[in-house]
Amino acid sequence: MVEPVQKTMTQAEYLTWEQRQTERHEYVIGFVYAMAGGSRRHNRIALNIASFCLTNAPEHCRIYQEGMKLQTDSAFYYPDVMAVCEPEPDKDFFETSPCLLVEVPSPGTKDIDLREKLLTYQSLPSLETYLVVDTDAHFVRHFWRNEKGVWQQQDSTDTGDISLACLGTTLSMTQIYQNVF
Amino acid sequence: MFESIQPSLSVQEYLDLEKSSKERHENIGGHLYAIAEASQRHSRITGNIFTALWALSNGLGCRIFQNGMRLRIGEATFYYPDVMVVCEQEEPDPYFEVNPCILIEVLSPSTKTVDLREKMLEYKRLPSLHTYLIIDPESLFVRHLWRDEEGVWQQEGITGSGDLPLPYLNATLSLSQIYRNVFN
């Protein structure tokens, strides 16, 4: 279970407080939640995707792996991989307009990634693609916004290509799971 | 780790399935999540709250539901709130509500994260919602969230005893009503 630290904070209090912490915390409507460390597979998958993006994305896009906060209307998250192609926001400590988000669930975060973050991420006007990547099998759940702005979804197993529209490139299952199993 | 691949359901398919299914499911974007059985304490708390608010709600022409009615948010998200009060006269559909003014969830080990995080985020999106109460069945503790006069969400934690204002029902709900006969 994900336990909140007891005291509630405003967004401004959280941002100041978190800079002094030795571990990272997400923030959801007043509560902060410590982030668990990831498994080796989790880290390899996230790094595979982030390094593919870094190599293939247009120059003006910023790629992050786990270390950068995303601000939504009521929360701050640390996405496992985030790509942002909009101009830099004024604030140094978070992004607000990603076009690609990736989560690699661990046992404690699966429901959050497939439910809460899915709903919250899909409400971001800038987002075009959200991937949830399994660590136990070759399995990716792929959500994307079509030309009409309607969210679509598809599961990919084993092989196949996933379009990363905002980066103008295609990511393969082989690249995601390279050296993972 | 993932459930086997299933095609996501349309809203109509989901509503049809729920009518014939033995267990209830919440629906997040076409993916279904079964609702776990409630504990004794959980059931007593929801029963206490429903009983305390039933006559008040009906007296004002509001509809009150305990566990059995779906709440639709946006296009394809459906929840079964533990207690829901709707004061909009018009019924949007025979099988779901869309405009609650009060929502109440009683925590359980399997729903705690969803109740405290996801539902708080999603319920806050409802323009009609005024009050969201999250009840701890392990101790006398209620998290009270409400929209103030300026439309900004406020929250406070109440421990031990106290009254929760429910302006929509011109009433208050006390912790002793909520926890009556729960810890003995």
Domain ranges of chain A: 39-176
**What is the pLDDT at residue B36?**
85
- In chain A, the N- to C-terminal Cα span, in Å, equals 27
Q: Are A85 and A78 in contact (CB under 8 A)?
A: no
| Tokens 């070759």 belong to residue | A138
Burial A149-162 (b: 16+ CB within 10 A, else e): eebebebbeeebeb
Task: Share the mean pLDDT of chain A.
Answer: 92
Token pair, residue B62, equals 């509001």
HEC string of A114-152? HHHHHHHHHCCCCCCEEEEECCCCCEEEEEEECCCCCEE
Q: Is A134 on the interface with B (CB under 8 A)?
A: yes
pLDDT digits (tens, 9 = 90+) for A24-66: 999 999 899 998 888 999 999 999 999 999 999 999 999 999 9
Q: Are A136 and B1 in contact (CB under 8 A)?
A: yes
Q: Are A51 and A28 in contact (CB under 8 A)?
A: no
A118 to A111, A157, B57: CA distances (angstroms)? 10, 20, 34
SS3 B125: coil
ipTM beyond 0.90? no
Where do the structural domains in chain B lie, given as residue ranges? Answer: 39-69+78-178
**What is the pLDDT at residue B75?**
87
| Chain A residues touching B155 at Cβ < 8 A | 8, 29-30
| Chain A residues touching B113 at Cβ < 8 A | 1-2, 111-112
pLDDT digits (tens, 9 = 90+) for B32-48: 999 988 899 999 999 99
Q: Are A120 and A75 in contact (CB under 8 A)?
A: yes
* CB neighbour list of residue B47: distance below 8 Å, 6 or more residues apart: B66
Which residue of chain B is at minimal alpha-carbon distance from A135? B1
Which residue of chain B is at minimal alpha-carbon distance from A6? B157
pLDDT digits (tens, 9 = 90+) for A96-118: 999 999 999 988 888 899 999 99
Token pair, residue A64, equals 């992050």
Half-sphere exposure of A26 (CA within 13 A, CB side): 21
* CB neighbour list of residue A123: distance below 8 Å, 6 or more residues apart: A72, A73
**pLDDT interval class at A4 (50, 70, 90):** low
Closest CB to A116: pick one of B8, B109, B118. B118
SS3 A52: helix
Q: Are A43 and A107 in contact (CB under 8 A)?
A: no
Q: Is B152 on the interface with A (CB under 8 A)?
A: no
Q: Are B32 and B15 in contact (CB under 8 A)?
A: no
Q: Rounding to the nearest 10 degrees, give the CA dihedral for residues A121, A127, A129, A133.
A: -30
The CATH code of the domain at A39-176 is 3.90.1570.10
Query: Are residues A112 and B113, on separate chains, in Cβ contact within 8 Å?
Result: yes
SS3 A165: helix
pLDDT digits (tens, 9 = 90+) for A72-99: 999 999 999 999 999 998 888 999 999 9
| Chain A residues touching B114 at Cβ < 8 A | 111, 115-116
**What is the pLDDT at residue B184?**
73
Nearest residue to B83 via CA among B148, B181, B12, B177 = B177
**Averaged pLDDT for residues B142-155:** 92
Q: Are B30 and B8 in contact (CB under 8 A)?
A: yes
B29 has a pLDDT exceeding 50: yes
B1 has a pLDDT exceeding 60: no
A2 has a pLDDT exceeding 50: no
Nearest residue to A80 via CA among A126, A119, A39, A20 = A39
Region for A93 from its dihedrals, namely left if φ exceeds 0, alpha if ψ lies in -120 to 50, beta otherwise: alpha
Which phi and psi angles does A15 have, rounded to 5°? -65, -40
**What is the pLDDT at residue B3?**
60
**What is the pLDDT at residue B2?**
60
Q: So what CATH class is B39-69+78-178?
A: alpha beta
Give the minimum alpha-carbon distance from B102 to chain A in angstroms, rounded to a whole number.
Answer: 18
B80 vs A67: CA distance, rounded Å: 36
